[in-house]
């Protein structure tokens, strides 16, 4: 989600028109129109003012993709307490199923880093796929899941020591979604 889309979304949620926003920020209507249509970016002071006005972080406004909200809930986990059974194809599947037993559905996810333009150029020069392979090897011990509970979705990661969960801002509706410079894809089975 772009900065312009996020700005427009938080402005509308707050019930402000573009004119009202221009008055609060002491900028021209053309500036707000330009920002919301992604034809320009606010300067640092205006970014801080926008974040403060709408009670969001500057990181939320400028981050590529969909960001996460809510507290990061991180707990220790003992994977030896779980066994593969039923739909669980791994001990981590069994652990997430047990932890979120009230979930409507749990999708195992595949995570891949979304490369920046410069990283793509380096990847092509070095050897296509090298940076993705290095990223995959570095995070091989972590499993990712999309947990749907009633009207909310959680992004859950399980390593050999911890289970972490955060609530998503935007709904993960398709097969793929970009979240904070990472591409998550649903696998073919559910838990």
pLDDT by residue, tens only, the chain of 191 residues:
678 888 888 888 889 899 999 999 999 999 999 999 988 888 888 888 888 888 777 777 776 555 555 567 888 999 888 888 888 788 898 899 989 988 999 999 988 877 777 777 887 888 887 776 776 767 678 899 999 988 888 889 999 899 988 888 777 888 888 776 788 889 888 88
Domain coordinates in residue numbering, the chain: 3-62, 68-186
Measured distance CA(170)–CA(168) in Å, rounded: 6
Q: What is the CATH number of domain 3-62?
A: 1.10.260.40
Name the pTM for this structure.
Answer: 0.58
Measured distance CA(36)–CA(16) in Å, rounded: 13
Contacts with 109 (C-beta within 8 Å, 6 or more apart), sequence order: 144, 145, 146, 184, 185, 186, 187
Measured distance CA(110)–CA(174) in Å, rounded: 14
Whose tokens are 């002071």? That residue is 45
């Amino acid at each position: 989600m772009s900065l312009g889309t996020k700005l427009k979304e938080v402005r509308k949620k707050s019930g402000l028109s573009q004119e009202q926003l221009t008055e609060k920020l002491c900028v021209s209507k053309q500036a707000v129109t330009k920002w919301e249509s992604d034809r320009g970016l606010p300067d640092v002071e205006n970014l801080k003012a926008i974040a403060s006005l709408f009670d969001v972080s500057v990181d939320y406004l400028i981050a590529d993709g969909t960001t996460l909200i809510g507290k990061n809930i991180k707990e220790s986990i003992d994977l030896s307490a779980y066994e593969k059974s039923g739909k669980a194809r791994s001990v981590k599947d069994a652990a997430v199923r047990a932890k979120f037993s009230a979930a409507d559905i749990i999708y195992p996810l595949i995570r891949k880093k979304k490369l920046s333009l410069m990283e793509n150029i380096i990847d092509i020069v070095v050897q296509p796929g090298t940076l993705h392979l290095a990223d995959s090897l570095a995070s091989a011990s972590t499993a990712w899941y999309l947990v749907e509970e009633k009207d909310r979705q959680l992004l859950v990661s399980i390593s050999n020591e911890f289970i972490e969960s955060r609530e998503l801002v935007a709904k993960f509706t398709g097969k793929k979604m970009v979240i904070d410079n990472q591409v998550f894809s649903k696998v073919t089975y559910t838990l």
